[in-house]
Amino acid sequence: MEVLFLNLKEVTNILKMDIALKAVEKAFYEKGMGRVIMPPKVYLFYEKYQGDIRVMPSYLPTYEISGVKVVNVHPNNPLKYKLPSVMATIILISPKNGAPLAILDGTAITNIRTGAAGGIATKYLARKNASTLSLIGAGVQAETQLLAIVRVRKIKQVKIYDINMKIAKKFQKKFEPQLKIPIIICSSIEECVKDADIISTQTPVREPIIKAEWIKPGAHINAIGADAPGKEELDWEILKKGKVYVDDWEQASHSGEINVPLEKGIIKKEDIKGEIGEVICGKIPGRETEEEITIFDSTGLGIQDLVCAYQVYKIAKKKKIGKKITLF
């Protein structure tokens, strides 16, 4: 039996943002329809090395595809090993017979599908005429948020803030010519988010850095950074006055933007409007007025990786990309 092996370069060449956006929208739709099998992520903690892995199995019966992503988080990697902090491997599995179909590097997929989630949330929740984007944190997640959001709204101006000004400058240099949109580097978070129609936060902070009074009426916020218990980026006031949507209730309540205020009783389950998938398939309303503030709490779902990996696999097979390896 043969399995198709696809490395980071091959995956990156195939998985353009347009493909990822469509794929992630489908995954969220399936989730909204209740047709997804996705047990909670399993964590293995390597305490001695201040790192962990997360194992994410999932199954989409509609598309007859299943898979497992294994992804690590080792913040010391860049300095200590010259390796990325986050690396991932995805095994695609046929639900029909359990055979592995493909093994893909999942590092690029992880980044792109996270951007695509922000893009899809923006598509369904931001004002139709939203035209200014604020990015807090200028790392790889900011890149994919930008690439996704410019595809769902006509963005005329981008502001960016990073604690490390050099990274923000590098970001500007890379994307201003590419997208032909002015990118303004800000020296404070307040300056960056003030007046923005769309805000995307992708930082590893563990306390709110975005204040409620800075957010203009009608804004949409993608809260991307929080992905573990204790992590949060937004002032609780924002969550209290805005309409909050999550990607997955279980995961978000445990490790998403809402986990801390929920645990402290600042907000309650009833304060969360629902899952983005429910908005997509029309079960619950999204934005209803031009003035309300909408928030998308993104924690990252195994099904996002799964649909993207499946798209990559199908295209690679058709175009004969990748290495076929004999398993047995």
Q: Which residues are catalytic?
A: 69
Give, in order, the Cα–Cα distances in Å from 205 to each of 71, 231, 295. Answer: 20, 6, 18
Q: Residues of 52-70 as b/e, b for ≥16 C-beta within 10 angstroms?
A: ebbebbbbbeebebbbbbb
Q: Which of 97, 128, 270, 318 binds a copy of itself (CB under 8 A)?
A: 97
Question: Which residue among 100, 204, 218, 274 contacts a copy of itself (CB under 8 A)?
Answer: 100
**Of 240 and 324, which CB lies nearer to a copy of itself in the complex structure?**
324
Structure tokens at 136: 């807090």
Q: Which stretch binds a copy of itself (CB under 8 A): 26-34, 84-92, 219-227, 243-251?
A: 84-92
The partner residues of 103 in beta bridges, in order of sequence, read 5, 91
Q: Measure the CA–CA gap between 197 and 176, rounded to whole angstroms.
A: 19
Distance CA 298, CA 258 (A): 10
Provide the minimum distance between the beta carbon of 108 and a copy of itself in the complex, in angstroms, as a whole number. Answer: 8
Residues 43 to 82 in contact with a copy of itself, rule: CB under 8 A: 43-46, 48-49, 51-53, 55, 57-59, 61, 66, 68, 70, 72-74, 77, 80-81
Query: Out of 269, 288, 289, 327, which residue is the one contacting a copy of itself (CB under 8 A)?
Result: 327
- The amino acid at residue 70 is V
The correct pick among 95, 204, 218, 274 for binding a copy of itself (CB under 8 A) is: 95
- Which residues on adjacent β-strands are paired with residue 89? 70, 105
Q: Which of residues 265-324 bind a copy of itself (CB under 8 A)?
A: 323
Residue burial 105-136, b: 16+ Cβ < 10 Å; e: rest: bbbbbbbbbbbbbbbbbbbbbbbeebebbbbb
How many degrees, rounded to 5, is the angle at CA 92 between CA 72 and CA 226?
35
Q: Which of 39, 182, 229, 282 binds a copy of itself (CB under 8 A)?
A: 39
Cα(269)–Cα(265) distance, integer angstroms: 10
Of 16, 18, 34, 99, the one binding a copy of itself (CB under 8 A) is 99
Instruction: Provide the 10 A C-beta neighbour count for residue 253.
Output: 17
Using CB under 8 A as the binding rule, whether residue 98 contacts a copy of itself is answered as: yes
| Crossing angle between the packed helical segments 302-319 and 17-32, to the nearest 10 degrees | 130
Judged by beta carbon, residue 42 or residue 165, the one nearer a copy of itself is 42
Interface with a copy of itself (CB under 8 A), residue total: 50
Using CB under 8 A as the binding rule, whether residue 87 contacts a copy of itself is answered as yes
Give the separation between CA 302 and CA 41, rounded to whole angstroms. 8
Per-residue binding string, a copy of itself, 159-188, x by CB under 8 A, is: ------------------------------
Minimum CB distance to a copy of itself, residue 302 (Å): 10
Residues that bind a copy of itself (CB under 8 A): 1, 5, 7-9, 37, 39, 42-46, 48-49, 51-53, 55, 57-59, 61, 66, 68, 70, 72-74, 77, 80-81, 83, 87, 89, 91, 93, 95-100, 103, 105, 107, 323, 325-328
